Chains A and B, each alone.
Chain A
Amino acid sequence: MDQKKSLKKRRLGVVLNYIGLILLMITYEYAETTAWDTLLVSLEIIAILIILISFSFTYWKTSLWQFIHKPFKELDERELQLTGNSLRYAYAIFTTIALTIFLLYSLFERNFNIVLTVSLIYFAHILPASILAWIEKEV
Chain B
Amino acid sequence: MKIRKLYNRIAILRQERGISRKELAEKIGVNFQTIGYLEREEYNPSLDLAFRISEVFGLPIDFIFSTKPLKPLSQVLIEKF
A contacts, CB < 8 Å to B: 1, 75-79, 137, 139
Contact = CB atoms under 8 A, between A and B. Distances in A.
Interface of B: 29-31, 33-34, 36-37, 42-43, 45-46, 48-49
A1 B46 contact: no
21 contacts: A1-B33, A75-B31, A76-B29, A76-B30, A76-B31, A77-B34, A77-B45, A77-B46, A77-B48, A77-B49, A78-B30, A78-B31, A78-B34, A78-B37, A78-B43, A79-B31, A79-B34, A137-B42, A139-B33, A139-B36, A139-B37
Quick one: which of A76, A78, A79 has the most chain B CB within 10 A?
A78
Contacts of B46: 77
Contacts of A79: 31, 34
Nearest to B29: A76
A75 B34 CA distance: 11
Nearest to B36: A139
Nearest to B25: A76
Nearest to B40: A137
B43 to A, nearest CB: 5
A137 B36 CA distance: 11
Contacts of B31: 1, 75-76, 78-79
A90 B33 CA distance: 23
Quick one: which of B29, B31, B37, B49 has the most chain A CB within 10 A?
B31
Give 10 closest A-B pairs by Cβ, nearest first: A76-B30, A139-B33, A78-B34, A139-B36, A78-B43, A76-B31, A77-B46, A76-B34, A78-B37, A77-B49
Contacts of A76: 29-31, 34
